[in-house]
Chains A and B, each alone.
Chain A
Amino acid sequence: MKRIKPWKMILLATMALSLFTACSSQDENTTASSETPSKEEATSSTPPDPMGKYPDTVTVTEVLGYNPPEDPRTVQGITPEQNAYLKDLKDMMNIEVKYKWAVPSSQFEQKFSLAMASADLPDIMELDQKNYEKLKNQGMLADLTSAYNDYASPVLKKYMESDGGFAMKTFTSDGKLLAIPAFEDPFLSTQLLWIRKDWLDNLKLQPPKTIDELEKVAEAFVKNDPDQNGKNDTYGIALQKDIFFWGFDLRGLFNGFGAYPSIGDKQSAWIKDSSGKLVPGLIQPEVKTALGKLQQWYKDGVLNKEFALKDENKAVEDITAGKVGISFGEWWYPNWPLNLNVDKDPKAEWIAMQIPGLDGPGKSLVPKIRSNKVYAVNKNMKHPEAAIKMINFYIEMGNKKYMDKNKPEQGYVYNWFNPRIYNPADIETIYTEVNKALDANQTEITLDDENYKHVADVFKATKDYLAGDTKNASKGINWGQYFSRAAKDGGWGLTRQIKESQAFVNNEFYGLPTPTQVEKGPQLDKLMQESFTKIIMGAPLDEFDKFVSSWKSLGGDQITQEVNDWYSAQAVK
C-alpha cells in the first residue's frame, strides 16, 4: 500500500491540472468571441482619405507564405520583414505590418490549417475559396462594405467593377462584402505547349500540331539526343507529381484529348453535356483515353520514370539543366523557369504553341472567373479599412513617381507584399501599351497612371532584349519579360490569338465550393491522385472505371447534384 500513495497524489494532481487547462481555454474563447470590433474609433471626424496617414501607428498582423524573390537582382539575404514596401507603407500611411509567422510557400497550406484549427488568425488573410467558405461559415470575417465604400481608391473601384461587379457579388454574403477578390483575366489560365525550338531544329522536326506528332517529337527527344551532347540524358515531357497543378502538369495534354478534368490545383472542372446539365470533366471517357496514352508514354520513357517523386522544384531543375524540352503550361513560363534555361544554355530557344489535339490544335480549358485567392479581414481587427488602404498603397506604388526607387535591388519584393490587387487587365495593358510604343519607335512609355511601372519594366526589358543589351539584366530575364508579355508569338500574344479564334472550352462552374466539396474534396483528390498515378505507371487501364464508381459513391454524385443546383439557380448562362 505504501508504494501506491505517491501515485494517488500524482493522479489527483493530474486531474486537477487537466481541469485547470480546460477552464483556461474556456476563458480565452469567451473573451475572443465577446470582443466586438469598435469601428467607430477608426472613422474619425475627417472625411475618409484612401491614401491618408493615420495619426497613431496602426499595427496590422499578417502571415506569409513566401518564395525566394523572383528577381535575381534583389538585395541578397533580405527577409520579408525588411521588404522596402513595408517601410514605405509605414512612412506613407503609418501602418506597421507584423508577421505572426512567415514560412516557405510550400508549407503555407499546412501552417494556415493549423492556425485555423487553433483559431489563431492574423488581421489580414489571404484565403483560397475553401478556407474563405469555412471562415465565413464560422463568422470569422469582418464586414468590409463600409471600409470599401469609404476608403477604396478610385483605381481600386475601377478594377473591382471592371467585370460588372461579378466577382465582388460572389464574395458578398447577406449584403456584406466579406472579402476583396483578387481576380484576373480568365484567359491567363489558357494552356499552351512550350517546346525547345533548337532541339526541333537539331533533329529536323516540325513543331507538333497533333498528339501523334507530339508523340513523335517527344520520342525523338528521348532517343535521338536532341541536345547533341552525345549522352542519353534527356526525356520528353516535364511533369511533377501532382497531375493537375499550377505548372508542369498535364492539364493541357488532357485538353488535347477533349478531356477537361481540372482547372489546376485541386479544383475539378465542370462542362456542359448535351442535355445542358453540368458534368464533372474528371470522370468522362476522354480522360481514360488520355491516361492510356500517358501509360504508353511512361513505358517508352517520354515521361520521367520517377515523376511521382518529383515536386515542382525538381521539375524546374530538369528544365533549367536542359534535360527536358517540352512542357504544358501558361503564358508566364518564359518569365520563370524557361529564362533560367536560356541563361544557362545560350543555344536554348523556346517557342509557344497552341496545345496539340487529336486532329489539329486542341482547345484549352478556360475558367469563367480566375480568382484563386481573396483577401479577408479578421472580424476582431480594429481598423478593417487599413486592409483597403494597403491595397490602395500597393496600386499607388505602380505610378511613375516611385519608379526610381521601386526596384528589386533596393529591397522591393512585390510578391511578399499582401494584400495585393492587380489590374485585372494587367497583362493585356502591358501587351498593348508596349507594342504601341514599339510600333511608334518610342524610347519612353507615355502612359502615366498606376500601370506605369509594369508597362515600363516590360518595355525596358524588351528594348534591351531586342538590342542584345545585358547591362541591366541577363539575356534570360529580358527575354522572359519580353516573350511572356510583349512578343506577338509569345505567351500572352499567343493566348490572345487563342481567345480570338475561340479555341477554348469554358469551365462552367465558378461558384464557391459546395458543402460536399469542402468536406469530401481532399479525399476525392487523394483518390484521383492515387488512381491516375498508378494507371500511368502501368496499372490496368480499367482501374479508371473503378475510380469512377468510387468517386461517385464517395461524394462525387452529391457534388454533381450540388453543382447543378447552383447552375440552375445562379449561373449567368
Chain B
Amino acid sequence: MKTLKKNYVLHLMLLPGVIVTLIYAYGPMAGLVMAFQQFEPLSGFFHSKFVGLDNFRYVFNLPDFKQVLWNTIIIAVFKMVLFLLVPLILALLLNEVTKRWFSRLIQSAVFLPFFLSWTVLGGVIIELFSLNGPVNGLLSSLHLKPIMFMLDNNWFRGIVIGSDVWKGMGYNMIVMLAAITGINATLYEAAEVDGAGRWKQMLHITLPGMAPILILLGVLSLGGILNAGFEQILIMYNPTVYEGGDIIDTFVYRLGMFSQQFGPAAAVGLFKSVISLVMVSVTYYAAYKYNNYRIF
C-alpha cells in the first residue's frame, strides 16, 4: 500500500490500459461459456442448452482439424522465429552504419509496410505474384517457368510467412535498435581498449546486452503461438490452398460466420487460448528459472 501511495501517478498512468484490457479482453471472456453450449443467439447465454464437451468432440473429429492445427503451428513457428531473427540481423547491421541519414532512411523504409493494412497489402501481394505479375516477369526474363504462387500449396505458406515478416520486421527492428542504444557506452570503450574489433564487440557486448529484450519479445510472441495471422490469410487464400494455408482462425471464422455454429467456434477459440496460456506460463517460468529474467 505504501508503494501505491508513493507511486500513485504511475499507477494512474496504468489505468487507461487496464480499463481497455478489462473491456476488450476480459469482458468478452464471459462469452466463452458458448463453448459449452448449443448456443442460440436469441436465447442468449442464459437460456441456451449446456452440452458439456460436445462442441470440443465435434470439432476435434472434423476431418480438417488436424491439418488446420498443423498449418497453424508451422506458420506460427516460422513467423515467430523469423520475427526475432530478421529484425535482429537488420538492427545489428543498421547499428554498424555510421552515416546517420542513411540509417534513418533505411529505418523508415523498413517500417513503412507496418502501417499499411492487410486489405491493401494483400491485394498488392496477390497482384505481385500473379501469373502476369512482376515476379513472374522476372522469372521469365531468367528463362524460368512461371509459377502460380497463390494457387500452389508449396508456395502459399512461404509467401504468407515471408510477406508477414516483411510487413512487421520494421517494428521489432526499432525495438531492438532502442535496446542497443540502451547498452552502456563505456563497455564499448573498454572493449576497444582491450583490442576488440567491431565483430567481437557485437558478439560480446551488443548481443548479451540485447538478451533481455530478445527473451521478452520471444515470450510475448509465444502467447500468440496459435495466431498465424487471421486477417492476412483470409485476404490471401482461396480454396486451392486450404490444404496448406487454412489456419485455426480462418477455420473458426468459416465455422462461426457461414455455418453459424457458434458453440464449436467458441470451443476452438477456447482451445487456442488455453494452449497460449500454457505456452506463456511455461516459457515465462523457464526464463525466470534459468535466466533469472522476469517482466514483473
- Residues of A whose CB lies within 8 Å of any CB of B are 2-3, 5-7, 10, 13-14, 17-18, 21-22, 25-26, 29, 33, 109-110, 113-114, 116-119, 134, 138-140, 241, 305-306, 308-309, 519-523, 526, 529-530, 533-534, 537, 550, 554
Alpha-carbon separation in the docked complex, A225 to B223 (Å): 57
Contact with A along B227-251 (1 / 0, CB 8 A): 0000000000011101100000000
Alpha-carbon separation in the docked complex, A407 to B296 (Å): 68
The 16 sampled A-B contact pairs (Cβ below 8 Å) are: A6-B4, A6-B11, A17-B22, A17-B26, A22-B30, A26-B45, A26-B46, A110-B257, A309-B150, A522-B254, A522-B258, A526-B239, A530-B242, A530-B243, A533-B240, A550-B63
In contact, B44 and A25 (Cβ under 8 angstroms): yes
In contact, A529 and B239 (Cβ under 8 angstroms): yes
In contact, B239 and A25 (Cβ under 8 angstroms): no
- Residues of B whose CB lies within 8 Å of any CB of A are 1-4, 11, 18, 22-23, 26-27, 29-30, 40-47, 62-63, 126, 130-131, 148, 150-151, 238-240, 242-243, 254, 256-262, 296
Alpha-carbon separation in the docked complex, A14 to B18 (Å): 9
Extra pairs beyond A18-B30, A113-B257, A526-B239 (8, CB < 8 Å): A10-B18, A29-B46, A116-B41, A117-B260, A118-B41, A308-B240, A529-B239, A530-B242
- Expressed in whole angstroms, the minimum distance between the Cβ of B236 and any Cβ of chain A is 10
What residues of A have a CB within 8 angstroms of the CB of B22 in the complex?
Answer: 13-14, 17-18
In contact, B238 and A308 (Cβ under 8 angstroms): yes
In contact, B43 and A308 (Cβ under 8 angstroms): no
Using CB atoms, name the residue of chain B closest to A520: B259
Using CB atoms, name the residue of chain A closest to B42: A138
In contact, B260 and A309 (Cβ under 8 angstroms): no
What residues of B have a CB within 8 angstroms of the CB of A534 in the complex?
Answer: 239-240
What residues of A have a CB within 8 angstroms of the CB of B62 in the complex?
Answer: 523
What residues of B have a CB within 8 angstroms of the CB of A109 in the complex?
Answer: 258
What residues of A have a CB within 8 angstroms of the CB of B148 in the complex?
Answer: 305-306
In contact, B41 and A306 (Cβ under 8 angstroms): no
- Expressed in whole angstroms, the minimum distance between the Cβ of B43 and any Cβ of chain A is 7
What residues of B have a CB within 8 angstroms of the CB of A554 in the complex?
Answer: 63
What residues of B have a CB within 8 angstroms of the CB of A521 in the complex?
Answer: 259
In contact, A309 and B261 (Cβ under 8 angstroms): no
- Expressed in whole angstroms, the minimum distance between the Cβ of A233 and any Cβ of chain B is 10
What residues of B have a CB within 8 angstroms of the CB of A522 in the complex?
Answer: 254, 258-259
Interface SS of A by simple majority: helix
Alpha-carbon separation in the docked complex, A106 to B238 (Å): 16
In contact, A138 and B259 (Cβ under 8 angstroms): no
Question: Known: A305-B148, A522-B254. Is A14-B26 also a contact (CB below 8 A)?
Answer: yes
In contact, A3 and B44 (Cβ under 8 angstroms): no
Alpha-carbon separation in the docked complex, A526 to B261 (Å): 15
What residues of B have a CB within 8 angstroms of the CB of A537 in the complex?
Answer: 151, 240
From A21, A139, A526, contact of B254 by CB (8 A): A526
In contact, B239 and A519 (Cβ under 8 angstroms): no
Using CB atoms, name the residue of chain A closest to B29: A18
Smallest CB-CB A-B distances: 7 pairs: A29-B44, A138-B42, A522-B259, A522-B258, A529-B239, A119-B41, A21-B27
Question: Known: A6-B11, A526-B239, A537-B240. Is A138-B254 also a contact (CB below 8 A)?
Answer: no
Alpha-carbon separation in the docked complex, A533 to B243 (Å): 12
- Expressed in whole angstroms, the minimum distance between the Cβ of A32 and any Cβ of chain B is 8
- Expressed in whole angstroms, the minimum distance between the Cβ of A183 and any Cβ of chain B is 25
In contact, B4 and A309 (Cβ under 8 angstroms): no
- Expressed in whole angstroms, the minimum distance between the Cβ of A138 and any Cβ of chain B is 4
Q: Most chain-A Cβ atoms within 10 A of its Cβ — which of B3, B30, B43, B239?
A: B239
- Expressed in whole angstroms, the minimum distance between the Cβ of B97 and any Cβ of chain A is 40
- Expressed in whole angstroms, the minimum distance between the Cβ of B128 and any Cβ of chain A is 13
In contact, B130 and A309 (Cβ under 8 angstroms): yes
What residues of A have a CB within 8 angstroms of the CB of B131 in the complex?
Answer: 305-306
What residues of A have a CB within 8 angstroms of the CB of B261 in the complex?
Answer: 519
From B2, B18, B240, B260, contact of A530 by CB (8 A): B240
What residues of A have a CB within 8 angstroms of the CB of B29 in the complex?
Answer: 18
In contact, B11 and A309 (Cβ under 8 angstroms): no
From A117, A140, A241, contact of B238 by CB (8 A): A241
Using CB atoms, name the residue of chain A closest to B152: A537
- Expressed in whole angstroms, the minimum distance between the Cβ of B248 and any Cβ of chain A is 15
What residues of B have a CB within 8 angstroms of the CB of A6 in the complex?
Answer: 4, 11
In contact, B260 and A116 (Cβ under 8 angstroms): yes
Alpha-carbon separation in the docked complex, A522 to B259 (Å): 6
- Expressed in whole angstroms, the minimum distance between the Cβ of B294 and any Cβ of chain A is 11
In contact, B42 and A119 (Cβ under 8 angstroms): yes
Alpha-carbon separation in the docked complex, A305 to B150 (Å): 12
Using CB atoms, name the residue of chain B closest to A3: B296
What residues of A have a CB within 8 angstroms of the CB of B239 in the complex?
Answer: 241, 308, 526, 529-530, 533-534
Alpha-carbon separation in the docked complex, A522 to B45 (Å): 25
Using CB atoms, name the residue of chain A closest to B253: A110
Alpha-carbon separation in the docked complex, A530 to B245 (Å): 12
What residues of A have a CB within 8 angstroms of the CB of B63 in the complex?
Answer: 550, 554
What residues of B have a CB within 8 angstroms of the CB of A18 in the complex?
Answer: 22, 26-27, 29-30
What residues of A have a CB within 8 angstroms of the CB of B2 in the complex?
Answer: 2
In contact, A117 and B27 (Cβ under 8 angstroms): no
Using CB atoms, name the residue of chain B closest to A553: B63
Using CB atoms, name the residue of chain A closest to B25: A14
Using CB atoms, name the residue of chain B closest to A116: B41
- Expressed in whole angstroms, the minimum distance between the Cβ of B25 and any Cβ of chain A is 9
Using CB atoms, name the residue of chain B closest to A138: B42
Alpha-carbon separation in the docked complex, A279 to B146 (Å): 42
What residues of A have a CB within 8 angstroms of the CB of B27 in the complex?
Answer: 17-18, 21
In contact, A138 and B238 (Cβ under 8 angstroms): no
Alpha-carbon separation in the docked complex, A14 to B27 (Å): 8
Q: Most chain-B Cβ atoms within 10 A of its Cβ — which of A26, A306, A520, A529?
A: A306
From B1, B42, B258, contact of A113 by CB (8 A): B258
What residues of A have a CB within 8 angstroms of the CB of B242 in the complex?
Answer: 526, 530
Alpha-carbon separation in the docked complex, A10 to B11 (Å): 11
What residues of B have a CB within 8 angstroms of the CB of A138 in the complex?
Answer: 40-43
Q: Most chain-B Cβ atoms within 10 A of its Cβ — which of A110, A114, A523?
A: A523
Alpha-carbon separation in the docked complex, A521 to B260 (Å): 11
- Expressed in whole angstroms, the minimum distance between the Cβ of A221 and any Cβ of chain B is 19
In contact, B130 and A26 (Cβ under 8 angstroms): no
In contact, A25 and B45 (Cβ under 8 angstroms): yes
What residues of A have a CB within 8 angstroms of the CB of B4 in the complex?
Answer: 5-6
